[in-house]
Amino acid sequence: MKFVSIIIGSKSDYDVMKSCADTLETFGVQYELIISSAHRSPERTKEYILEAEAKGAQVFIAAAGMAAHLAGVLASKTVKPIIGVPMSASALSGIDALLSTVQMPAGMPVATVAIGKAGAINSAYLAMQIMALESEDLRIKLQEDRVAKAKKVEMDSLEIETKL
Protein backbone atom coordinates (compact mmCIF):
# COMPACT_ATOMS: atom_id res chain seq x y z
CA MET A 1 0.00 0.00 0.00
CA LYS A 2 1.38 3.41 -0.98
CA PHE A 3 0.54 6.34 1.26
CA VAL A 4 1.62 9.71 2.61
CA SER A 5 2.82 9.92 6.19
CA ILE A 6 1.93 13.12 8.04
CA ILE A 7 3.76 13.71 11.29
CA ILE A 8 2.90 16.70 13.43
CA GLY A 9 5.05 17.90 16.29
CA SER A 10 2.19 18.57 18.69
CA LYS A 11 -1.60 18.39 18.94
CA SER A 12 -1.79 22.17 18.52
CA ASP A 13 -0.69 21.66 14.87
CA TYR A 14 -3.68 19.45 14.07
CA ASP A 15 -6.23 22.14 13.18
CA VAL A 16 -3.93 23.50 10.46
CA MET A 17 -2.68 20.13 9.24
CA LYS A 18 -6.23 18.80 8.96
CA SER A 19 -6.25 20.85 5.72
CA CYS A 20 -3.43 18.65 4.43
CA ALA A 21 -5.31 15.46 5.30
CA ASP A 22 -8.54 16.80 3.80
CA THR A 23 -6.75 17.64 0.55
CA LEU A 24 -5.31 14.13 0.29
CA GLU A 25 -8.76 12.66 0.98
CA THR A 26 -10.27 14.77 -1.81
CA PHE A 27 -7.96 13.03 -4.27
CA GLY A 28 -8.40 9.57 -2.73
CA VAL A 29 -4.81 9.41 -1.48
CA GLN A 30 -4.28 7.31 1.62
CA TYR A 31 -2.39 8.78 4.56
CA GLU A 32 -1.43 8.23 8.15
CA LEU A 33 -1.30 11.07 10.64
CA ILE A 34 0.47 10.86 13.99
CA ILE A 35 1.89 13.20 16.62
CA SER A 36 5.57 12.73 17.33
CA SER A 37 8.17 15.23 18.43
CA ALA A 38 11.79 15.50 17.39
CA HIS A 39 12.60 16.76 20.89
CA ARG A 40 10.00 15.26 23.24
CA SER A 41 9.70 11.79 21.68
CA PRO A 42 12.78 11.19 19.51
CA GLU A 43 12.69 7.40 19.85
CA ARG A 44 9.01 7.27 18.86
CA THR A 45 9.82 9.42 15.83
CA LYS A 46 12.70 7.19 14.71
CA GLU A 47 10.67 4.00 15.22
CA TYR A 48 7.69 5.38 13.34
CA ILE A 49 9.77 6.32 10.29
CA LEU A 50 11.01 2.74 9.95
CA GLU A 51 7.52 1.36 10.51
CA ALA A 52 5.92 3.70 7.98
CA GLU A 53 8.55 2.94 5.34
CA ALA A 54 8.00 -0.79 5.82
CA LYS A 55 4.24 -0.29 5.33
CA GLY A 56 4.71 1.71 2.11
CA ALA A 57 5.04 5.40 2.96
CA GLN A 58 6.13 7.15 -0.23
CA VAL A 59 6.42 10.72 1.08
CA PHE A 60 6.71 12.15 4.58
CA ILE A 61 5.16 15.47 5.58
CA ALA A 62 6.48 16.98 8.81
CA ALA A 63 4.77 19.92 10.50
CA ALA A 64 6.40 21.66 13.43
CA GLY A 65 6.76 25.07 14.98
CA MET A 66 9.46 26.97 16.87
CA ALA A 67 12.79 25.09 16.52
CA ALA A 68 11.02 22.82 13.97
CA HIS A 69 13.61 20.05 13.80
CA LEU A 70 11.06 17.35 12.95
CA ALA A 71 11.55 17.47 9.17
CA GLY A 72 15.32 17.37 9.60
CA VAL A 73 15.13 14.35 11.86
CA LEU A 74 13.01 12.59 9.24
CA ALA A 75 15.51 13.51 6.53
CA SER A 76 18.29 11.97 8.61
CA LYS A 77 16.44 8.65 8.86
CA THR A 78 15.05 8.06 5.35
CA VAL A 79 15.83 8.77 1.71
CA LYS A 80 12.13 9.16 0.93
CA PRO A 81 11.03 12.73 0.07
CA ILE A 82 10.41 14.95 3.08
CA ILE A 83 8.15 18.00 2.95
CA GLY A 84 8.38 20.41 5.86
CA VAL A 85 5.48 22.60 6.93
CA PRO A 86 6.56 25.41 9.27
CA MET A 87 3.92 26.17 11.89
CA SER A 88 3.21 29.50 13.54
CA ALA A 89 3.70 28.56 17.18
CA SER A 90 5.70 31.39 18.70
CA ALA A 91 6.02 35.13 19.02
CA LEU A 92 7.90 35.06 15.71
CA SER A 93 4.75 33.95 13.80
CA GLY A 94 6.43 30.93 12.23
CA ILE A 95 9.53 32.68 10.86
CA ASP A 96 11.65 30.69 13.33
CA ALA A 97 10.07 27.43 12.14
CA LEU A 98 10.50 28.43 8.49
CA LEU A 99 14.21 29.07 8.95
CA SER A 100 14.69 25.88 10.99
CA THR A 101 12.93 23.82 8.33
CA VAL A 102 14.52 25.31 5.24
CA GLN A 103 18.13 25.54 6.50
CA MET A 104 19.24 21.95 5.97
CA PRO A 105 22.82 20.87 5.32
CA ALA A 106 23.76 19.81 1.80
CA GLY A 107 22.70 16.25 1.07
CA MET A 108 19.83 16.27 3.59
CA PRO A 109 17.04 17.96 1.63
CA VAL A 110 13.68 19.01 3.01
CA ALA A 111 11.23 20.57 0.56
CA THR A 112 9.79 23.45 2.55
CA VAL A 113 6.40 25.03 1.90
CA ALA A 114 4.69 28.14 3.28
CA ILE A 115 3.94 28.72 6.94
CA GLY A 116 0.55 27.50 8.15
CA LYS A 117 -2.58 26.50 6.23
CA ALA A 118 -1.36 27.37 2.72
CA GLY A 119 1.73 25.27 3.41
CA ALA A 120 -0.38 22.43 4.79
CA ILE A 121 -2.45 22.32 1.60
CA ASN A 122 0.57 22.73 -0.66
CA SER A 123 2.38 19.93 1.17
CA ALA A 124 -0.46 17.61 0.17
CA TYR A 125 -0.29 18.78 -3.43
CA LEU A 126 3.49 18.38 -3.56
CA ALA A 127 3.27 14.89 -2.05
CA MET A 128 0.66 13.96 -4.66
CA GLN A 129 2.81 15.36 -7.48
CA ILE A 130 5.67 13.16 -6.30
CA MET A 131 3.38 10.12 -6.14
CA ALA A 132 1.92 10.98 -9.56
CA LEU A 133 5.29 10.16 -11.11
CA GLU A 134 4.22 6.53 -10.71
CA SER A 135 0.43 6.93 -10.85
CA GLU A 136 -1.28 7.94 -14.08
CA ASP A 137 -4.66 8.13 -12.31
CA LEU A 138 -3.34 10.61 -9.76
CA ARG A 139 -1.61 12.65 -12.47
CA ILE A 140 -4.90 12.95 -14.36
CA LYS A 141 -6.76 14.00 -11.18
CA LEU A 142 -4.16 16.70 -10.53
CA GLN A 143 -4.43 17.97 -14.11
CA GLU A 144 -8.23 18.09 -13.85
CA ASP A 145 -7.89 20.03 -10.60
CA ARG A 146 -5.71 22.63 -12.35
CA VAL A 147 -8.28 23.02 -15.11
CA ALA A 148 -11.07 23.43 -12.52
CA LYS A 149 -9.06 26.09 -10.67
CA ALA A 150 -8.52 28.04 -13.91
CA LYS A 151 -12.22 27.85 -14.73
CA LYS A 152 -13.10 29.11 -11.25
CA VAL A 153 -10.93 32.19 -11.78
CA GLU A 154 -12.79 32.90 -15.02
CA MET A 155 -16.19 32.41 -13.37
CA ASP A 156 -15.25 34.62 -10.42
CA SER A 157 -14.09 37.30 -12.84
CA LEU A 158 -17.33 37.15 -14.82
CA GLU A 159 -19.23 37.96 -11.61
CA ILE A 160 -17.38 41.25 -11.12
CA GLU A 161 -15.86 42.20 -14.48
CA THR A 162 -16.13 45.71 -15.74
CA LYS A 163 -14.68 46.20 -19.23
CA LEU A 164 -14.73 49.04 -21.70
Residues of each annotated binding site for substrate:
10, 13, 40
Give CA 121 to chain center in angstroms.
7
Q: Which residues pair with 59 in a beta bridge?
A: 4
d(CA 45, CA 6): 12
Are the C-beta atoms of residues 20 and 61 closer than 8 Å to each other? yes
d(CA 161, CA 86): 37
